Structure 1
Amino acid sequence: MLRNRNRAGIAGRTTNQPSSQRQLRVAEELRHRLSALFTRIEFRDPELAGVRFTVSEVRATPDLKHATVFLTRLGSTEIDHLLPAVRRVAPYIRSQVSQGLRLKFVPDLHFEADHTLDYAMHITKLLRSADIARDLTPED
């Protein structure tokens, strides 16, 4: 009885708890494999032809059944309109990533746009504006 409760506690982790070492290791391995895949593959989908992606982060669920992949696009900040096309080819990407991956189950890949760089550039632009710069300079 006690054994079953412990298992349920591990599997029933909330999202506020930190990731386990295994989650981090699997997520990093997926990130490396996806990055390598995106650099060498040419998609047959016309919307993805010639488009290069950067995998900025991968987050795995505690049960390792799902992974969220955050993508940015090289040379452009527009990625939202490409996500439906990436999601269409997700099963193919998953099959390519699974080759050589030593896991019992390969996580289902869920692709999301990573807007952190856009947000950082926006904050930098705000900090450089005249009104903010005036407030940040020390007065004598």
Structure 2
Amino acid sequence: MAKNRFHEGSGPSQRQLRVGELIRRSLSEVLARGDVHDPDLNRMSITVGEVRTSPDLRIATAYVLPLGGTGQDEVISLLSRNKGELRRLVSKKLALKFAPDLRFRLDKTFDQMDETRRMLQQDTVLRDTSGEGDA
């Protein structure tokens, strides 16, 4: 019990990272091949950027983004609607004790990267990083 409290807030364990990556690959493969029996979901190209698992590996949160960034709300709705089938398909590929409950969130990392690039291109930042302001 003390071990869990000690590791809280210290980031995911190696096991969580490994299982999250296995789930990410399996989920990406299932979505790319169109294995789900939902034509609305199969017509969309979805990127699975990351999967984070709970410490007990029973919950897996997939961070997803539709190709081109359009239809973000629709993709979350479609994935949530089909999460039972997705859970079954993904767990068939993995040798886990429990099939994790899948949850879906929009992947905001691309938006954050665009914002960072925009900020780095500002004149004041360029001036500061080039050393022109030093006198």
Q: Which moved more, 1:70-79 or 1:48-57?
A: 70-79
Cα root mean square deviation, aligned? 2.4
Q: Structure 2 stretches of 5 or more lacking a match? A: none
What amino acid is aligned across from residue 90 of structure 2 in structure 1? V
- 1:1-140 equivalences in 2 (<5 Å): 8-10=1-3, 15-41=8-34, 44=38, 46=40, 48-76=41-69, 79-139=72-132
Task: Give percent identity, aligned residues only.
Answer: 35
Q: Contact conserved, 2:26 with 2:93, CA < 8 A, in 1?
A: no
Question: Measured at CA, do residues 103 and 117 of structure 1 come closer, stay the same or move farther in structure 2, by a change above 3 Å?
Answer: same
Structure-1 separation of matches of 2:67 and 2:80: 18
Structure 1 or 2: larger helix share?
Answer: 2
Structure-1 separation of matches of 2:77 and 2:129: 42
Aligned residues: 132
Residue 70 of structure 1 and its aligned partner are, at CA, apart by 0.7
Structure-2 separation of matches of 1:95 and 1:13: 33
**TM-score under structure 2 normalisation?**
0.81
**TM-score under structure 1 normalisation?**
0.79
After superposition, the C-alpha distances for 1:53-75 in whole angstroms (9 at most, x for unaligned) are 11111111111110111112222
Q: Structure 1 stretches of 5 or more lacking a match? A: 1-7
Q: Contact conserved, 1:77 with 1:118, CA < 8 A, in 2?
A: no
